[in-house]
Structures are given as structure tokens and as C-alpha cells.
Amino acid sequence: MKLDATDLRYVTSDEFRVLTAVEMGSKNHEVVPTSLIVQISGLRNGGVNKMIGELAKRNLVSKVQNSKYDGYRLTYGGLDYLAMRALSKRDSMYSVGNQIGVGKESDIYIVADAEGSEMVLKLHRLGRISFRAIKNKRDYLGKRKSASWMYMSRLAAQKEWAFMKVLHEHEFPVPKPIDQARHCILMEFIDAYPLRQVSDVPSPGQLYSTLMDLIIRFARAGLIHGDFNEFNILIRRDTGEPVVIDFPQMVSTSHENAEWYFNRDVECIRRFFRRRFRYESALYPRFRKTLDDTADGEGFRLDVAVAASGFKQKDMRTLEEVRLCSVYVAPMDDLLSMPVSRIRQRRRGWWRR
């Protein structure tokens, strides 16, 4: 869904209290009974019913009628408002501008702080497109299918936030993380354009080497990007240097499928340079040799640092399980190099507060 922050300034504190109650009730209910919303919010019954009606008009909650009881379900719009209010109250974000990007798992917006400095807001939206088919195959949190997607989106944001912080602290070419709330991440705005939009570069060989060195540098730090391609690499307008984005799928080099992820990242870059720039090199990194070279040096493990930062291994496995069970449509080159077991596994306006 598209973010609409027009009404955010008009939502009252009590309405946010009711919206929060619906969110809290969603932890144990797919459809939250009205009586439970009243109980959690601590407001009068009549007042809650009126406020729920106002929230429903704004599509922040949706009414669901079933054979047992009537209740409400939190929408992604409601989750957006809760996250933006949290960022606003922390003075991290002041205004919301235009959408500048959309993907199968997220929406990207330009936002600004009170001084007018531009930033980027990324909203994770798992379950919207490519993962929608999983609902009919498997349920990850009991019967709460709708709530589980919001929970997974929150996990994806927490995972990306943890990786971005550690990578930025160790001077990897990634955006500076600013804040995180629920399924949203706030990061610095970089004047750059995606590599997929680049049709010509002064030296394809130099850029190719830089990107391959980045893959090696990630691996020597114990990490594999997992989706290292022209869509997740930005080129700075002023210097031409690459910046890597999108980290929810990042895995450790100790992952059971680490070599496959590593080889896929390498092959994505090789294939792009071969097709776009007619450039092909016989030199490219190998997973085993990279790990052997890492073992010979001192090395440091960023995957361990991420685990120590608070993102639990249990949450990592839960989030990965969703991705592995999604319907996977891969390029033929990927399918030919993919283990059979792996194939089976993966079936404009502004708002101001």
C-alpha cells in the first residue's frame, strides 16, 4: 500500500492509544475483539467505538466480521502511522515527502528533519507481492496470517538496522543509519543513482574490481550480502563510488548455504557487467579461498557483532524461513548452478507534524 501521511497530524492522542491497543491485541489475535481494545486502551467503551470508527475511515484499521465475534485488524497504514509517530516524538523525523522507490518488500520515501535536512525512510512490507503465496502454504505464527506479516516486516527492519549500524561503524560503504521504529528504518539521503541505470562508465574494469573487493571484504568480516546486484548498489554522483543498500537477506559465512549465496552475489555482478558493459574478467573471488585468506589474517567477525547487538538468532532463523519458503522465480543461470535441494527449498506533497 502507498503511504498517506495527510491525516497524521489530525489523529488525536486517544486515537493513537486505541491504535496501539489494536497492535498489542494483534500479538494473540488475528482479529482483535472490540472488548479487548477497550480493555487495553483503558478508555470508555462508547468513546473507543467512536474512535475506532474514525480510524477505520482513515484505513488505519479494518473491521472483520466472523461467526464468533466482530473485531478489528491493524492495517499497514495503521502500522505506518504508529512508526512515524514514534520517529516524530523522538525528533528524528519532521516531514514526509515523495515516494522515490518501491520494491517487492519495501517502499522508499524522502523525509526531512526539523532543520529541513533530507533523509530516506524505508518501510518494510513483507507479504505484499512475492511472499503472498506463502499464506496458502504455511503459517508462521499460528493462525494470525495478517499479523504475522507485520511481525516479519518488523523483524526485517530490525535485522537491516542491526547490520547497517555495524557496517557503518566499520566504515563499509553503506548509508548512515539514523533511527528505527517498528517496520521502518530512517537513514541518510545519498545523492546517487542505482547501478542498473548506468549505461556507460569510464572504466568498467575498475568498477568491477571495486565491487568484487567489496564482496571479499564482506566475507572476510564474516558476512555475505545475499542480494548483491545492480538494484542494490548505488553510484555516487560526485565521486562515482559504489554504496551498498538493502540488508535484510544478509547471512553469516558460517551459514549452511553461505557458499551458494556468495557465488550468487559474484555471478550477479559478472552477469551484469557482461550484459551491460560487454566486460568479462577471468578473475573473480572464490568462497573457499576467501575464507582461507581470512583465517590466515587476524580478521574480525561482524556477524558476531550483529548477534551481540540484540538481534536474536531465533529471529534470524524465523525471518529466513519465510524467505526460503517463498515462491522463487530465478534466472536460468541461477537455476543451473543451484543445488536441487535449494530449488526445493524455495518454491508528491509534504506532511508536517
Do residues 82 and 58 make contact, with C-beta atoms less than 8 angstroms apart?
no
- Taking the CA atoms of residue 266, residue 271, residue 277 and residue 283 in that order, the dihedral angle to the nearest 10 degrees is 40
User: Is position 227 annotated as part of the catalytic site?
Assistant: yes
- Nearest CA to 284 out of 182, 190, 211 is that of 211
Do residues 125 and 105 make contact, with C-beta atoms less than 8 angstroms apart? yes
198: which residues sit within 8 A by CB, 6+ positions away? 235, 276
In whole angstroms, what separates CA 327 from the centre of its chain?
Answer: 18
| Residue environment code for 195-220, b if the CB has 16+ CB neighbours within 10 A, otherwise e | beebeebeebeebbeebbebbbebbb
Neighbours of 101 (CB within 10 A): 14
Q: How many whole angstroms separate alpha carbon 149 and alpha carbon 152?
A: 5
Please, how many CA atoms are within 13 Å of residue 206, restricted to the half-sphere of its CB? Answer: 7
Q: Which of 70, 91, 139, 227 is catalytic?
A: 227
The Cα 330–Cα 320 span in angstroms is: 18
Q: In this structure, what is the dihedral angle of CA atoms 297, 302, 304, 306, given to the nearest 10 degrees?
A: 180
Measured CA angle at 250 (ends 247, 252), to 5 deg: 150
How far separated are the first and last CA of the chain, in Å rounded? 21
Question: Which whole-number Å values give the CA distances from 140 to 256, 325, 344, in the listed order?
Answer: 22, 11, 19
Give the catalytic positions in this structure: 227
